[in-house]
Structure 1
Amino acid sequence: MNEAKARELICAMGHRLYQRRLVHGTAGNISLRLEDGWLVTPTNTCLGELDPASISRLDATGRLIAGDKPSKEAFLHTSVYDVRPDAQAIIHTHSTHSVAVSCMDHPHGCPPIEPLTAYYVMRVGELALVPYYRPGDKRLADAVREVAVRHACVLLANHGPVIAGKGLNEALYALEELEETARLKLLLDGHRTKPLTAEQVAELTLI
């Protein structure tokens, strides 16, 4: 994919996220990997109003080489790309229901969201929860890198999800599945639930 096309795809995805109310204000960021680096949305920019020319162009180490100043959370993307060679796109949002789940008190070692549905297992898999760090804290990079080796979908405590995919659409579909399952979890709060068993989850990984 050439860079001009990649810039257009990022802008189109930003508009889709904004229209679907998965992002608001200037929250969230999107990136696409290129052969010799990657593109990421600029800082303090509404994803629903992106300009292809303003998209930040970074080299493989995360250094800005063209475009506007990148998102202050660009290091999250670098951390994931460093350990996931299969990742071609990353979406980070502050989507409401996922953030709500990220603010809950989860017992140590327990997943933030149980395997409630088959499609959650197939699109999201096992969701990793990363402890809270203030926005822009570089310690978050190490925490994300550590879990991204095994997890394409990461939930930042009191913050929001970071989703890697083989393309923007794959990342979007995983994000939407996570957001809807987070909504289900909140709707079911206080009710007895019956998550999928370990055997049922294992069966789904073969599909």
Structure 2
Amino acid sequence: MSRSMAQARTALVATGRELVDLGLSPGTSGNISVRVGDRMLITPTNESMGSLQEDRLAELDLAGNHLSGPRPSKEFTLHRAFYRRSPEARAVVHLHSVNAVACACLEPWSEVSAIGPITPYFVMRVGQTPLIGYAPPGDIAQADELEARDQPFRAALLANHGSVVAHTDLASAVNTAVELEEACKLAVLTAGRSPRMLSHEQAVELAVKYGSPWST
């Protein structure tokens, strides 16, 4: 086993426990992955992320072929879709956290983002977050839509399902997922109340300054 693959295994186990401790991964929900070269290391199906073991993780290639380890999460196609559309992505976090799921049950703010520019931190750290149409968990149609979306984004909400975030490393993906969860909470709390958003100009200024995806 290469050193980078061994490090990825250690990081996945630690991150799974962190997400459970944060209350973002109830039961056996959610899955996380790391890309190492042309391989994907992902959490197994039907297992709590708080009880992951380094020698019990699934290894796939980017075509989705199962190379070793236990059966991968059935939602591995979402991870593969992000790695395919975003060459710089090295980690993906998919959660069924309460506020993300609740927000994913609401009508989207716009075609390009389920959530409006409700805080500067959402714009800076997450950016526009499209709502991907509903499909049963593990259905490749949802992954195909995510991969084909013709707009830049590092996070998406899956209709009536949860959130999925990609970033250049696992820590950044987790931080982005946490910030998205907070933005979803605010969106749910203010739904139907006509909350004041940042202006388009304010959002674009922040996005340009911090390198986050926001339609100009």
Into which bin does the TM-score normalised by the smaller protein fall? over 0.9
Deviations 1:114-162 (A, max 9, x none): 1011110011100111010011212112111112862110110000111
Partner of 1:82: 84
What one-letter code is carried by the residue in structure 1 that aligns with 2:163? Answer: P
Which stretches in structure 2 are left out of the alignment for 5+ residues? 210-216
Contact 2:111–2:130 (CA<8 Å) still a contact in 1? no
CA distance in 1, matches of 2:144, 2:10: 31
Return the offset for 1:193. Answer: 1.6
Return the offset for 1:107. Answer: 6.8
Contact 1:91–1:164 (CA<8 Å) still a contact in 2? yes
Pair 1:133 & 2:135 matched: yes
Partner of 1:42: 44
Pair 1:181 & 2:179 matched: no
What one-letter code is carried by the residue in structure 2 that aligns with 1:138? Answer: I
Residue in structure 2 matching 1:57, options 56, 59, 63: 59
Pair 1:117 & 2:90 matched: no
After TM superposition, the score normalised by the length of structure 1 is 0.95
Which stretches in structure 1 are left out of the alignment for 5+ residues? none
In structure 2, relative to structure 1, the CA distance for the partners of 1:33 and 1:148 (3 Å cut) is farther
- Tell me the C-alpha RMSD between the 2 structures: 1.5
SS in 2 for 1:162: strand
In structure 2, relative to structure 1, the CA distance for the partners of 1:81 and 1:53 (3 Å cut) is same
After TM superposition, the score normalised by the length of structure 2 is 0.91
Identity %: 39
Contact 1:14–1:30 (CA<8 Å) still a contact in 2? yes
Aligned length: 207
In structure 2, relative to structure 1, the CA distance for the partners of 1:35 and 1:103 (3 Å cut) is same
